[in-house]
Homo-oligomer: A and B are copies of this chain.
Amino acid sequence: MPASRDADDVQYNNSEILDPRIRQRLKHDAQGLVAAVIQQYDSKEVLMVGYMNDEAVRRTLTTGRVTFWSRSRQEFWRKGDTSGHVQYVKSFNLDCDGDAILVEVDQVGAACHHGTRTCFLSGGPLPVVVGTRSDEEKSI
């Protein structure tokens, strides 16, 4: 198991480009992107999923605001610039293999451009067969 990294242990230099030590930990897709899950820091609602390239990661780490790379528009997109629905960064974690990011934010207003608090409220639920733990699994 990789050692848990404490945010205060290491000093990175993201002043011009994303620090190469961070870049090396990212596992980019064919478009150079990593999926970013955006979660409200206090209520823990999952607000949306966006994508970041290295520069979007750098801006998100260094400016207090979440920046994405828009796959459809092929441009940087700082959440809230047109809508006012800003995402203030509270924490930033990589996953175990570097192909996903979890950003905890304070979301001003609606995260979804359709006006709902989260994009998953806008899309809505599908009916599922619900699974339940076995008796043996209840203490795990």
Contacts and interface: CB of A to CB of B under 8 A. Distances in A.
Interface of A: 1-2, 4-8, 10-12, 22, 25, 30, 35, 37, 39, 43-46, 48-49, 60-65, 84, 86-100, 102, 106, 108-109, 112-116, 119-133, 137, 140
A111 B94 CA distance: 15
Nearest to A40: B44
11 contacts: A2-B114, A4-B122, A7-B124, A7-B126, A44-B45, A61-B129, A64-B129, A89-B129, A91-B128, A102-B120, A108-B140
Interface of A is mostly: loop
Contacts of A2: 114, 122-124
A112 B108 CA distance: 31
A19 to B, nearest CB: 9
Nearest to A22: B126
B95 A126 contact: no
A43 to B, nearest CB: 8
Contacts of A100: 48-49, 119-120
Contacts of A60: 128
Nearest 5 Cβ contacts at the A-B interface: A64-B131, A88-B131, A44-B44, A5-B124, A94-B123
Contacts of A25: 123
